Amino acid sequence: MKIDVKECAKLLKEKDNILILTHAHPDGDTLGCGFGLCRALLKLGKNVRVINADEIPKKYDYLHNDLKFEDFKEDYVVSVDTATENLLGDLADVYGGKINLCIDHHGTNTNYAEKTLLIETAAACEIIYQVIIELGVEIDDKIASCLYTGISTDTGCFRYASSTPSTYRIAADLIEKGADNGFINRVMFETKTKTYVRLERLVMDGLKLYCNDRVAVIVVTQDMYKKSGSNEQETEALAPLTRQIEGVEVGVTIREKIDGTCKASLRTFDKVNAAEVAKCFGGGGHPQAAACRFDCGVDEALERIVKKCGELLK
């Protein structure tokens, strides 16, 4: 059932033991939502814990490293920024069918939770911001930093057309409340590890163009992780690079997983709907950024996805 911000805040106020789930392969958006909401609920005296299926990349330490979670039995499960249950990764096995509330901004949300607060026109952390205001919690510097991180990473640091006047005004408010925007953006966008720099070089050297140079594809293999000393956690910044070459309409990043299967991230502009492409392969996302998994190896995945893009570009 769809609910609004007011109803969402009311539900959260009624519960005392809340478990928050972020999606697997967690990024700044889902973590900002999770820890931002968690901190607000802690201020209301509730038991709250944030969990996710995968390790949280070290660069997000400042979002949560001062938090110590108490042991408690949850009576309310909330997912944030998660369009489908299987995006919860391994947590889907435990919490599938048991999610009470979902706060999300993906048009492809499958309505899997008992109640869903869905606003497609906002960054997920903008929705959490509204919920926190409705909860009557004063936003402190820690909450502000969580929410700013989510908004900034979700909008490519305010680059994308998805950033609305409201996005900018909320960001202004969060900076006034103590979000350290210079530090956050430096860590999120301006700091590349030496291993990542090596990985980026290897990956970009293999960039290939298809469909009259309108589709750019990069492939990240397990071998490249070995050669560069990098790992999957560091690949987040690669996907946007595919779309940056003049004339490219679809950027595809295929990441080989350790079991030989792979995952593809899609970045597009107006002409192709990334979520539509991803949906053909059982995935989902936004019109300009989406992802899907393949049970096959990278070569076959590449062929299938390029073929589909070719059809859509016709």
Say if CB 28 and CB 149 are below 8 A apart. yes
User: Toward a copy of itself, which CB reaches closer, 10 or 159?
Assistant: 159
Sole window of 22-30, 64-72, 131-139, 199-207 interacting with a copy of itself (rule: CB under 8 A)? 199-207
> Binding of a copy of itself at residue 185 (CB under 8 A)?
yes
Least distance from a copy of itself to the Cβ atom of residue 200, Å: 9
Q: How far apart are CA 314 and CA 305, in angstroms?
A: 14
Tokens (6 digits) for 22: 């972020």
DSSP state of 197: H
| Distances 198 to 115, 202, 230, 232, 241 between C-alpha atoms, Å | 44, 6, 8, 13, 15
Least distance from a copy of itself to the Cβ atom of residue 121, Å: 13
> Binding of a copy of itself at residue 16 (CB under 8 A)?
no
Provide the residue type at 235 as one letter.
Answer: T
> Binding of a copy of itself at residue 121 (CB under 8 A)?
no
> Binding of a copy of itself at residue 296 (CB under 8 A)?
no
Site for a copy of itself in 255-284 (CB under 8 A): 269
Helix (H, G, I), strand (E, B) or coil at 188: helix
Q: How far apart are CA 249 and CA 72, in angstroms?
A: 49
The position carrying tokens 């490293």 is 65
Sign of the Cα pseudo-torsion (193, 199, 201, 204, in order):
negative
Least distance from a copy of itself to the Cβ atom of residue 107, Å: 17
Q: In this chain, which of 157, 202, 306, 313 binds a copy of itself, going by CB under 8 A?
A: 157
User: Toward a copy of itself, which CB reaches closer, 14 or 246?
Assistant: 246
**Residues in a beta bridge with 19:** 49, 77
Q: In this chain, which of 6, 98, 168, 226 binds a copy of itself, going by CB under 8 A?
A: 168
Provide the residue type at 16 as one letter.
Answer: D
> Binding of a copy of itself at residue 165 (CB under 8 A)?
yes
Say if CB 258 and CB 222 are below 8 A apart. yes
Q: In this chain, which of 6, 10, 58, 159 binds a copy of itself, going by CB under 8 A?
A: 159
> Binding of a copy of itself at residue 120 (CB under 8 A)?
no
> Binding of a copy of itself at residue 166 (CB under 8 A)?
yes
Q: State the virtual CA torsion across 139, 143, 149, 151 in degrees, nearest 10.
A: -40
> Binding of a copy of itself at residue 158 (CB under 8 A)?
yes
Say if CB 64 and CB 50 are below 8 A apart. yes
Q: By rule CB under 8 A, what count of residues binds a copy of itself?
A: 40
Q: In this chain, which of 2, 6, 10, 201 binds a copy of itself, going by CB under 8 A?
A: 201
User: Toward a copy of itself, which CB reaches closer, 69 or 183?
Assistant: 183
User: Toward a copy of itself, which CB reaches closer, 201 or 227?
Assistant: 201
Q: How far apart are CA 173 and CA 181, in angstroms?
A: 11
Binding interface with a copy of itself (CB under 8 A): 157-169, 171-173, 175-176, 181-183, 185-186, 189-194, 197, 201, 204-205, 240, 243-247, 269
